[in-house]
Amino acid sequence: MSAASEKIGVAVAGLGIGEQHVRAYLSTGRCELRWLYDLDREKARRLTHDFGGGVVAESFDQILDDPLTSAVSIASFDDAHYNQVVAALNAGKHVFVEKPLCRSIDELQTVKQAWLKQEGRSKLASNLVLRAAPLYRWLKQQIESGALGEIYSIDGDYVYGRLHKITDGWRKNVPNYSVTFGGGIHLIDLMLWLTGGRPSSVYAAGNRICTEGSDFRYHDFVAATFQYPTGLVGRITANFGSVHSHQHVLRIFGTKATFVYDDAGARLHVSCDPSVKATPIHLSSLPETKGELIGPFVSAIINEDNLDQSTQEVFDVISICAATDRALQTNSTMEINYT
């Protein structure tokens, strides 16, 4: 699709974060909203009115049967992603899906096969949106320029600060809900993107002290240690029970400089001398909206170009999350097999 005036038909399933997807598609000026689908049909009807377009779908299949719908955004509950992604790919649609793409290696293998069958005709991307933050785009450039030297350690903490969402919300009803897939995935993806490499093994430990006595049945805290072939070590935590506002923390240690982002803001340390103050970095650690990656996704469809985030990178982060959960379940170090 290369005609400058041509618009692509889009549909959005799941209208929580999916509402931001709609806004992002429409803001490109290159998309026509065709369908909205949500379990809450009244909300879907209200949003068609608010957006001035689209039709409320009675089923997900109704979207897939529409030949004028080229791209489907999936922002439904985590355990629905896999089936919807596979169905959309098999229908020849471009797919943009909230994290996680899927929740196991078996599911990932099926997703990849469905994508490969399209032989490059279908774009597949996942909303691992920290890549779009101005701070981390700057940091990526600094690392690639050598300003931090050789990276030997990266630490990331996903501090959820919303315990009620797993004790009272839909997550408590999802079989085998994983805080690594549900939140830690953002920091794992950031680790992959910033280091430019893939860890070879992982060990993980966790607990459910914060949710003891609740209906949530799984670990609410997980800490994972990743070993890279180069010797680099990554440490990522998914902390859903934290008494803290929703936040993340990142520390990157290089032989020339250290980067830190936490409640005190972002700064770069270039000296061990305590009299040399760290340089503050005044860039946002979050994208402006949760739809920032949709513009590049639409551009890749229209221009028949590569995605900024390759589909293999999306697959890799799922492979790592799955290995982390296996390491947690078996209390052992797991080799990471990439699908």
Q: Tell me the per-residue pLDDT of 33-85, one tens digit each, with 9 for 90 and over.
A: 999 999 999 999 999 999 999 999 999 999 999 999 999 999 999 999 999 99
Give the domains, in start order, of the chain with CATH numbers: 8-129+291-295 (3.40.50.720), 130-287+319-335 (3.30.360.10)
Measured CA to CA, the distance from residue 156 to residue 186 in angstroms comes to 9
pLDDT at 2: 45
Q: Are 335 and 227 in contact (CB under 8 A)?
A: no
Instruction: Please tell me the predicted confidence (pLDDT) of residue 309.
Output: 86
Residue stretches of the chain with pLDDT short of 70: 1-5
pLDDT at 5: 59
pLDDT of residue 6: 81
| Secondary structure (3-state) at 258 | strand
Among candidates 287, 268, 263, 266, which has minimal Cα distance to 131? 287
**Quick one: pLDDT at residue 308?**
85
Q: Distance between CA 119 and CA 311 in Å, rounded?
A: 13
| Residues 166, 173: Cα–Cα separation, whole Å | 9
pTM score, two decimals? 0.95
In angstroms, the CA 100 to CA 151 distance is 27
Phi/psi for 250 (5° steps) reads -140, 135
Q: Distance between CA atoms of 221 and 283, rounded to whole angstroms?
A: 29
Question: What is residue 150's predicted lDDT score, i.e. its pLDDT?
Answer: 98
CB-based contact 119:95 (threshold 8 Å): no
Give the pLDDT confidence score for residue 36 in this predicted structure. 98
Cis, bond preceding 100 (omega within 30 deg of 0): yes
Residue 324 phi, psi (nearest 5): -65, -45
User: Position 49: which residue type?
Assistant: H
Residue 68 CB contacts under 8 Å (≥ 6 apart), including other chains: 9, 34
**C-alpha separations of 157 from 19, 160, 202, 203, 237 in Å:** 27, 9, 16, 16, 5
Do 36 and 57 contact (CB within 8 A), yes or no? yes
With beta carbons less than 8 A apart as the criterion, state whether 152 and 252 touch. Answer: no
CA atoms within 13 A on the CB side of 297: 31
